[in-house]
Amino acid sequence: MVTEIKKKEEYIDRSPLHGLWTLTNRELKKWYKSAVILLLSIIQPIFWIALFGKAMNLQALFSGTTLSIPGLNIPKNIIDKIGQEILKQTFGTTDYFSYLAAGMLSFITLFTSMQSGMSMVWDRRLGVLDRLLTTPVSRSNIIISKVLSSVIRSLVQATIVLIVAVLLGMSFYPGINIFDFLGAYAALFLMSFGLSSLFLMVAIRASSWQSQMAVMNLLNLPLLFTSNAFYPVNSMPSWLKPIAEINPLTYSNAIIRGMLLGIQTNLTIDFIYLTVFATFLSIVGIILSWKYISS
């Protein structure tokens, strides 16, 4: 008995973080083992960039046509130039495909983060949560593992979308360096952390996965279309502008485009907004979730 107790100190890890990685890893394992789910969730954004991004090739709209206005004899190179200037004015780049692809990185992150609570719904229904609650893992680690796995999943999905986009012809601004990528990922991380926490809280209170799905579907597309994912805030109707300006997607898009495409934006304001957004939602989400499973 005495030797048992002595040995125990050595093989037992009782740091406050113990179990956190075990639980996070459990989620991730299930996810990467089921390639279908992985593929299904990146199909949508890839569809957007592959079809919409290519078909709405605004540059080709001007240069690809033999546009001539009767009565005016404008040389083609001037028309091309005007077209490019218009594009630059509205989108900040002449490359609409890259513009859209950058927007889709935020979208896939949003979409994946929203699913953060789904596994919690299942864990509750199947009794796994009841078992977890009887182990020495702290309640907060149970919650944070869900958020963390969702964030990791989101960033990996975003990376896949980014790679596909590059293969399809997305191009970065010429002077791009590692810090630009870090900046872009920081934006995705912030958004994912905030949203994952929020949706975990929703899921913990939702009794079924159907209701969780309903909430997701309700918010998903509106958030996408009220952001600058497809078109810049400036060209939006005035009633939409205020909505776009509080939509976190708008800010993470701005950061990513600023970092990867070199499109002009105020990075300080963008980052401050996203940080405040993420901090607020994580605190509220994590505390309320924690309270719920602790009662």
In the region spanning residues 98 to 127, those forming contacts with another protein, defined by CB under 8 A, are 125-127
Residue 19 lies near another protein (rule: CB under 8 A): yes
Spell out the residues 6+ positions from residue 262 whose beta carbon is closer than 8 angstroms to its own.
93, 172, 173, 174, 175, 176
Distance CA 64, CA 62 (A): 6
Nearer to another protein among residue 66 and residue 135 (C-beta): 135
Residue 203 lies near another protein (rule: CB under 8 A): no
Distance CA 228, CA 176 (A): 22
Structure tokens at 223: 């958030």
Which of the ranges 20-28, 83-91, 254-262, 272-280 carries the binding residues for another protein, by CB under 8 A? 20-28
For helices 139-167 and 118-125, give the axis angle rounded to 10 degrees.
140
In the shown chain, the binding pattern of residues 34 to 53 toward another protein, with x for contact by CB under 8 A and - for none, equals x-------------------
Nearer to another protein among residue 126 and residue 246 (C-beta): 126
The footprint of another protein on this chain (CB under 8 A) covers a number of residues equal to 31
CB of 25 to another protein, least distance (A): 8
Residue 29 lies near another protein (rule: CB under 8 A): yes
CB of 18 to another protein, least distance (A): 4
Looking at this protein, which amino acid is placed at residue 40? L
Nearer to another protein among residue 76 and residue 125 (C-beta): 125
Residue 6 lies near another protein (rule: CB under 8 A): no
**In residues, how long is the chain?**
295
In the region spanning residues 124 to 143, those forming contacts with another protein, defined by CB under 8 A, are 125-128, 130-138
Nearer to another protein among residue 30 and residue 88 (C-beta): 30
Nearer to another protein among residue 34 and residue 89 (C-beta): 34
Long-range pairs, 46-49, Cβ under 8 A, ≥24: 46/104, 46/161, 46/164, 48/100, 48/104, 48/107, 49/97, 49/100, 49/101, 49/104, 49/161, 49/164, 49/165, 49/168, 49/170
Nearer to another protein among residue 138 and residue 265 (C-beta): 138
Distance CA 217, CA 288 (A): 23
Structure tokens at 44: 């949508």
Residue 163 lies near another protein (rule: CB under 8 A): no
Nearer to another protein among residue 39 and residue 82 (C-beta): 39
3-state secondary structure of 8: helix
CB of 16 to another protein, least distance (A): 11
CB of 23 to another protein, least distance (A): 7
Residue 33 lies near another protein (rule: CB under 8 A): yes
SS3 of 202-239: the string is HHHHCCCHHHHHHHHHHHHHHHHHCCCCCCCHHHCCCC
Residue 291 lies near another protein (rule: CB under 8 A): no
Binding site for another protein (CB under 8 A): 10-15, 18-19, 21-23, 25-26, 29-30, 33-34, 125-128, 130-138, 295
